[in-house]
Amino acid sequence: MRTIKFLLKRLALSLIVLFGLSVMIFILGRVVPGDPARMSLGANAPQETVDRMRQQMHLDEPLVVQYGYWFSGIIQGDFGKSLYTKRPVIVDLTEFFPATLELVIFSGLLMGLGGLILGIISTKFNNTWVDNIIRIVSYLGVVTPSFVFAIIFLLIFGYLWPIFPTMGRLSQYLSFPPNHTGLLLIDSLIAGEWETFWNGFSHIILPAIALALGGMSQEARITRSSMLDNMSKDYILSHRAYGIPEKKIFYKYLLKPSLIPTVTVFGLDFAVLFGNAFLVEMVFNWPGLSRYGINVMLQKDLNAISAVIILLGAIFVLMNIVTDLVVSFLDPRIQLAD
């Protein structure tokens, strides 16, 4: 009951954030110089046609009314037409988004698990060479942008030692399994096509690692520092004094409170993966949303741009809610103190 109340409160707040985002995007779209109707029709269209188009697009009405039309469209999934692909934006999104989603989910799993495991190892072997190596490597991981990793991987595994494919989601000779979720790995498992699964897996592994390394390093560092910090807390001492075995203290009583900052950062990093995916997808020629996003930005395709931004905004907001929820399970003080 308490959790539901907590969740509803967060949802309400998120809706306000999303509303603010939509207002901002709408205003940006309207203050950018240039007449959207003229832009979509081209410079040579006669003035009457443009006027008719303006009427159709409700551009002759007050801004508030315009926003109303625009917003009700978005709610129904109608983002307008893309000037770049000449198709409804929503069709483009459903085509390109699953590839990005798959990459980011895979990468997020690597990031979270890898970061956690490295952090725990680093804590366990605190101040030994194991810990030092993990710390140095994770420093490098934090400061290196993911596209640099992508390029390095491309050089090593695509050129010097070509053991992984470096282009696209699936080799040419294979066809996509029947679409259920849009996620290739899951769809191929559903269809029971092992060859497709392994092929897809070998395609996704390089971009996913390149994308994950930064966040993974961050998570490892945070897990390590918060575990070491909590280790000297009095309650760890009292667990020890009251006869709890060391292993249990470490993996239960120390790990749980130490995970709170890790989860918080993981939530943010996960959302940031969508942004970083822009460049990694370019490097690995991954047919995802990011490439589409970059192309529409270069084309000043406003409808598509606002759709991409709203989608990413919604993902950020969603990740924040999920993070809050997980953290509130880890730390009862957050839910109960409200």
Partner 1 sequence: MGDNYLLKVEDLTVDYKVYGGYLKVLDGVNFYVKHNERVGIIGETGCGKTTTMKSILRLQANNAIFRKGKITVGDQDILKMNDKNFHAFRKKGLAMIFQEPMIALNPVFTIGQQIEDVIYHASDTKLSKAELKQKAREVIASVSLPDADRILSNYPFQLSGGMRQRICIALAISMAQKLLIADEPTTALDVTIQAQILELIDQISKQKKMSLILITHSLGLTRNTTDRMYVMYAGSMIESCSTKQLYENPLHPYTIGLLKSIPRLTGGEFSNGIPGRLPDYMNPQPGCRFQNRCTKVMDICRRQKPSEIEVEPEHYVACFLFDQKGDKQ
DSSP string, 59-90: TTS-HHHHHHHHHHHHHTT---B-TTTSSBHH
Q: How does 106-137 read in b/e, with b if 16+ C-beta sit within 10 Å?
A: bbbebbbebbbebbbbbbeeeeeeebeebbee
Nearer to partner 1, 117 or 334 (CB): 334
Say whether residue 240 binds partner 1 (CB under 8 A): yes
Nearer to partner 1, 230 or 303 (CB): 230
In this chain, which stretch among 86-94, 164-172, 179-187, 239-247 interacts with partner 1, using CB under 8 A?
Answer: 239-247
Say whether residue 224 binds partner 1 (CB under 8 A): no
CA 28 to CA 302: how far, in whole Å? 9
Say whether residue 239 binds partner 1 (CB under 8 A): yes
Q: Which of 76, 234, 247, 298 binds partner 1 (CB under 8 A)?
A: 234
Nearer to partner 1, 19 or 235 (CB): 235
Say whether residue 256 binds partner 1 (CB under 8 A): yes
Contact between 270 and 111 (Cβ < 8 Å): yes
CA 34 to CA 37: how far, in whole Å? 9
Say whether residue 242 binds partner 1 (CB under 8 A): yes
Minimum distance from residue 237 beta carbon to partner 1 (Å): 5
Say whether residue 233 binds partner 1 (CB under 8 A): yes
Residue 12, C-beta contacts closer than 8 angstroms, at least 6 positions apart:
none
CA angle at residue 268 from 28 to 318, to 5 degrees? 70
Nearer to partner 1, 39 or 244 (CB): 244
Say whether residue 244 binds partner 1 (CB under 8 A): yes
Say whether residue 235 binds partner 1 (CB under 8 A): yes
CA 224 to CA 161: how far, in whole Å? 34
CA 191 to CA 170: how far, in whole Å? 16
Q: Which residue carries 């890898």 as its tokens?
A: 114
In this chain, which stretch among 148-156, 164-172, 229-237, 291-299 interacts with partner 1, using CB under 8 A?
Answer: 229-237
In this chain, which stretch among 72-80, 116-124, 268-276, 330-338 interacts with partner 1, using CB under 8 A?
Answer: 330-338
CA 146 to CA 170: how far, in whole Å? 22
In this chain, which stretch among 1-9, 96-104, 154-162, 250-258 interacts with partner 1, using CB under 8 A?
Answer: 250-258
Q: Which of 139, 245, 251, 338 binds partner 1 (CB under 8 A)?
A: 245
Say whether residue 325 binds partner 1 (CB under 8 A): no
Say whether residue 16 binds partner 1 (CB under 8 A): no
Say whether residue 338 binds partner 1 (CB under 8 A): no
CA 41 to CA 44: how far, in whole Å? 8
Q: Which residues bind partner 1 (CB under 8 A)?
A: 232-235, 237-246, 248, 253, 256-257, 260, 330-333, 336-337
